Amino acid sequence: MASRLIESLATTEELAELFSDGSILRAMLEFEVALARVESRLGIIPVSAAQSIAAAATPAAFDVKELSRKSLRAGTPSIPLVRVLTEAVRLNDDSAAAFVHWGATSQDVSDTALILLLKQSQLLIDADLARCETVLRRLSEQCKDAVMLGRTLLQPGPPTTFGLKAAGWLGAVHRGRKRLTQAFAEALVIQFGGAVGTLAMLGDRGSVVARELAAELGLACPDAPWHTHRDRLGALICACGVLTGSLGKVARDVGMLMQNEVGEATESGGEGRGGSSTMPQKRNPIGCTIAIAAATRMPGMVASYLAAMVQEHERSVGGSQSEWPTIAAVIQATGVAAASMAEVTEGLRVDTARMQRNLVETRGVVFAEKAMAVLAAKLGREKAHQLLDAATRKVVDERRTFAEVLGDVPEIRNILDDAALKQLTVAEDYLGSAESFRTALLRDTPSTQAKN
């Protein structure tokens, strides 16, 4: 795994590799080679120079540790990279060395390299989100009739269905995925503006070079350079924050359903997954834990990025320099949350029998709202509420059922016979629009595949 041990819970193996030193170096060199190729095709630099630049841009020839040290001195990794690349070109073609990085500036290299990494990260994240959506849709369909307790403020409420709960999770993940897709579409544009965003060194050919460079790199070309206009990346970071929050919400729900006293769902286990160093009986919600940890870190990172958006004039002092670690951390947090919840949902075991037992163990008090609707029409709202409040307290104190206690209340007995009292606590009769809401959520989240 390319990440450090301290980051082992904050990323996936694939994303750790994507944001590794070697990967970043390759992306920066990809920009330099693409720029040289485009400029040679347009006759701006000699073809032989572009060939020499491409031949010298071999990642293995660069000392990443030395680049890092020099980056701290230069204030950007682009300056030492261009210097090393220029010297490597000069060794074999002295005349070609003058055309390295022609017309570009340091931020063009660093920003476009970052965008190239983000393009790859989208594929990884979207694949896991597609997995998650597929499973949540299937769970919703399979469990559409699985009645369970609704829970408000962590206390039992009237019944709902697990199918609706899963559909709600699906809806939130799908909406977050749509926002993220749109944000990526807007953000995946090259940065190419030269010294102050005018490409003056290229004369009147700057726009042509920019369009060709974008095509060469497989990115979109913006209307103009965006050096200190960080709104596209800001929108992407915010979309990551919202999506990761939604994944964290699903993780929180699943983790609480896994509590022993609830026991309505369980993450899959497996080698090295969910155990305890001291308690062999434990089956911990590890996937949920990782997703919640990512969602917990996310707000601060989003705020950090937004604060860095206030950048002065055509090049900032400290703003853009703060971004690489933040963006990398945000993308990796989003990715590890998506991967974790894809694994959680794919292995989720739902215990519908336990859901039914938990309903029964409330002794029917969760149907007080249902009783209120019936009795208020006959006794008035205030009187009905008074009687039901007293009845629910008696159920708890005497450990009797709700129907039994109600049957002892003369005012209620005059309205409801034994059959009506029994019917009062039938969960399936008090699901309201649960199924129509569930089907609407599935209808609004069409089955989709991961982006290629």
Active site positions, annotated: 276, 315
What is the C-alpha separation between 433 and 299, in angstroms, rounded?
34
Q: How far does CA 401 lie from the centroid of its chain?
A: 44
301, 242 contact by CB (below 8 A): no
Whole-angstrom CA distances from 296 to 68, 125, 277, 301 are 30, 19, 25, 10
If you count them, how many residues does the chain have? 452
d(CA 115, CA 221): 12
Q: Which phi and psi angles does 442 have, rounded to 5°? A: -70, -35
Asked whether the CA dihedral 275, 278, 280, 281 is positive or negative, the reply is: negative
DSSP characters over 171-205: HHHHHHHHHHHHHHHHH-B----TTTTS-GGGGGG
Query: What single letter denotes the amino acid at residue 349?
Result: R
**Residue among 246, 240, 242, 251 at smallest CA distance from 330:** 240
380: part of which helix (H) or strand (E)?
none
**Burial label, 329 (beta-carbon count in 10 A; 0-12, 13-18, 19+):** buried
Distances (CA, A) of 433 to 294, 402, 439, 446: 34, 24, 10, 21
